[in-house]
Amino acid sequence: MQTIRISFLLVLFLLFVAGLAAGAEVLTSVKPIKAEEFQLGDWQGKVILMDFWASWCKPCEKSMPWLARLQSEYGADGLQVVAVNLDQDWQDAVKMAASLPPEIILVHDPEGILANERNLQGMPSAYLYDRQGQLNAVHVGFIPNETAEKEKQIEALLQGGTGDFDPASIGSDTAGVQPWQRDLLAAPGMAIDPDPIETALNEHVYFSKEASSGGIGSAGGGCGCN
């Protein structure tokens, strides 16, 4: 009986090790294109959604399933999702990258080459290009209930539509900490808030509790009714 138990545990251990090895093989097989080698013009004729993300960006985690669904649903119609990662070390990003389907083009941009060219303002940011390679829209941040409107824009471009978006409207202030450098100087919580209204409401409820303290105020003293 003891021998059977030892054999059973040995089998479980070997299966566990094999699983770890398989997982490691999948992660190491996820290889991105270098930013300096990526040319948007190589994909002219397709509608391009270029999404900038990083492993430390919490809203980026929420946008990954949406990007995967877009490529799956609209890829055959001419949509190409390009996921540009801005982590300094690709190994920090590889786990999130592995969650994306292989049809999505992965680009690693640790120096912010592509981000600087587009004057990236926040994380995540999505740049939508029409079939002629013209910028049609820029979306900063990720709010789930806005995805339907974004998909309407994509569908219009897939049907041959174009836009008159002015890149100059994005802004030009690049002083200070760049959006893709926040992992070096700040906590992940500094990423764009996916829902500022909900956050403000939560803070109001929390900091108005009786005898609460902290937050943006120096002391509490709420009504105690929350």
Rounded CA separation 147/156 (Å): 14
- Hey, what domains does the chain have and what are their CATH numbers? 33-170 (3.40.30.10)
Rounded percentage of the chain residues whose pLDDT exceeds 90: 52
What would the pLDDT profile of 147-158 be if each residue is shown by its tens digit? Answer: 999 999 999 999
Mean pLDDT of 94-108: 95
Asked if residues 32 and 85 have their Cβ atoms less than 8 Å apart, the reply is yes
Mean pLDDT of 24-34: 64
Tokens found for residue 214: 């902290």
What would the pLDDT profile of 157-214 be if each residue is shown by its tens digit? Answer: 999 877 666 665 565 554 456 766 666 554 444 444 445 555 555 555 545 554 444 4
What would the pLDDT profile of 131-150 be if each residue is shown by its tens digit? Answer: 999 999 999 999 999 999 99
User: Quick one: how far is CA 85 from the chain centroid?
Assistant: 8
Query: Of 207 and 115, which is predicted with more confidence?
Result: 115
Confidence of residue 28 (pLDDT cuts 50, 70, 90): very low
Confidence (pLDDT) at 130: 95
Asked if residues 68 and 104 have their Cβ atoms less than 8 Å apart, the reply is yes
Mean of per-residue pLDDT scores for the chain: 76
Confidence (pLDDT) at 44: 87
Q: At which residue do the structure tokens 């829902």 appear?
A: 195
Rounded percentage of the chain residues whose pLDDT exceeds 70: 59
Residue 116, CA atoms < 13 Å, CB-side half-sphere: 10
Amino acid (one-letter) located at 156: A
> Which helix or strand (DSSP H or E) is residue 206 part of?
helix 196-207
Q: Could you tell me the maximum CA-CA distance found in the chain, to the nearest angstrom?
A: 76
Report the candidate in 181, 25, 33, 27 with the shortest Cα–Cα distance to residue 94.
27
Confidence (pLDDT) at 198: 55
Cross-strand bridge partners of residue 81: 49
Confidence of residue 88 (pLDDT cuts 50, 70, 90): very high
For the ranges 1-15, 29-43, 49-63, 184-198, the maximum mean pLDDT occurs at 49-63
Rounded CA separation 44/97 (Å): 24
